[in-house]
Amino acid sequence: MRINALLIGFGSVSQGLALILTKKRAQIRDAVGIDLSIVGVVEGVRRDGKYHSAFSADGLDLETLLRTKQQKGTVSAYPNAGGNDSTLDLIKKSEVQLMLEATPTNLRNGEPALTYIKTALGLGMHVVSANKGPFVFALKQLKGIAKMNRVELKYSAAVGGALPIIPIGDCALIGAHVTAIEGILNGTTNYILTQMAEKGVGMKEALADAQRKGIAETDHRLDISGDDTAVKLLIAANSIMQSDTRISDVRISGIEHVTHDQISAAREKGHVLRLIGTARSIDGLVDMNVEVREVGQDHPFFWVSGTSKGVILDTDILGKIVLIGGESNPQLAAGAMLRDVLNIYRNSQNLHDSA
């Protein structure tokens, strides 16, 4: 079965996804019985004030698309298919079954990705997104639109990247009640704290190194302030714990003021510092906070170093579940988007087979 899809945004994550699809087309077909074809891509408004896009109803050749972006700097130079369609125009004119959205995150109001996702869901498209913004402000609403239109909405790449926090919470823990989530959810801050502890470098030097490696947010303040951790924690808790908490309800402190004296004091006790987000159910409400904590070797997060992440899910009937991994890397985020796509069509195939 051929599935036509749109790529909204063509930054490092979307390019990583396109690269993966060039290599795994046959495996995808074997796994879930679909032939995934990217028919359209749009980069958004560029410095020239125009949208840059490419569209072909017959499907775009992804190797050509990637080569065009690399050599020409824009997808609109794609041979015989380049154009200047706006994102909404491309969504509305395309007869596709799936939208893959990976535009830059806006934590002020979730736009314009929020509108893109609402529009696609309303037109009966499945949506896979790596964008945190829309789910901070409208997760419940978006889930409602998806349910009303009988389509799927997946966003695991927005929360833990390769670390499957949302899939585990949604599927593997079915029947259980998650009473607490504890997580190292930002690989950049974990990398900085690890570098400061292991190499004795300062905060600025460790941050600059993270930026050179491409693992820091465009606005690094989102990382070190704890805001990025808070956003991911909020989405995870509202999704897995069925809470309806706002970002303003999360108590947040970051790593800005961590000193070598604090790191040395922790080391003397055989401990390390980690930026940890916690969501805990208390008397029917979910309390959330982000803070730097000192942990010893008896805690799973002691062993989470570098850009890796970790999460602990406390449940009522399945005990404590610990996940570790998911390094900060655009290619891994792209892999998480593909995972979401495969889960959508695996679920659809299971429903078809049981009918």
Asked whether the predicted pLDDT for residue 122 surpasses 70, the reply is yes
Question: Do 176 and 311 sit in the same domain of this protein?
Answer: yes
pLDDT at residue 326 in the model? 84
Q: Which residues contact 21 (CB under 8 A, 6 or more apart)?
A: 28, 36, 38, 62, 338
Instruction: Report the CATH number at residue 139.
Output: 3.40.50.720
Which is more confidently placed, 330 or 128? Answer: 128
Cα 173 to Cα 169: distance, rounded to the nearest angstrom: 5
The overall average pLDDT reported for the chain is 93
> Angle 248-110-78 (CA atoms, 0-180°, nearest 5)?
155
Q: Residue 129: what are its φ and ψ, rounded to 5°? A: -130, 145
pLDDT at 349: 58
Question: Rounded distance, CA 352 to CA 355, Å?
Answer: 5
Same domain, 209 and 72: no
| Catalytic-residue membership of 232 | yes
Task: Give Cα separations from 341 to 126, 247, 248, 267, 348 (angstroms).
Answer: 9, 28, 32, 43, 11
- The pLDDT value recorded for residue 354 is 39
Same domain, 119 and 179: no
Judged against a pLDDT cut of 90, whether residue 296 lies above it is answered with yes
Q: What Rg value do the Cα atoms of the chain yield, rounded? A: 21
Query: Which tokens belong to 343?
Result: 């889960």
Residues 40 and 107 in one domain: yes
* Torsion sign, CA atoms 107, 113, 24, 146: positive
Evaluate whether 347 touches 184 at the Cβ level (below 8 Å): no
- Please determine, for residue 199, whether its predicted confidence score (pLDDT) is greater than 60: yes
What is the pLDDT at residue 327? 84
Tell me the CATH number at 269.
3.30.360.10
Strand order in the sheet with 82-83: 82-83, 51-55, 35-45, 2-8, 98-101, 126-129, 153-154
* pLDDT value of position 348: 64
275 and 149 in one domain?
no
Domain count, the chain: 2
pLDDT exceeds cutoff 60 at 119: yes
| Residues in a beta bridge with 295 | 272
Judge if 182 and 155 occupy the same domain: no
- Type of residue found at 309: K
Catalytic residue among 69, 154, 232, 309: 232
CA torsion sign, 300 to 279 to 225 to 158?
Answer: positive
- Structure confidence at residue 278 (pLDDT): 98
Chain segment 74-98, per-residue pLDDT in tens? 999 999 999 999 999 999 988 899 9
Residue 355 has pLDDT above 50, yes or no: no
Range of the domain at 247: 170-327
Average pLDDT of 90-110? 94
- CB-CB contact of 154 with 345 (8 Å): no
For the segment 232-236, the average pLDDT, to the nearest whole number, is 97
Co-location of 201 and 249 in the same domain: yes
Is residue 55 domain-shared with residue 176, that is, in the same domain? no
Could you tell me what percent of the chain has a pLDDT over 90?
81
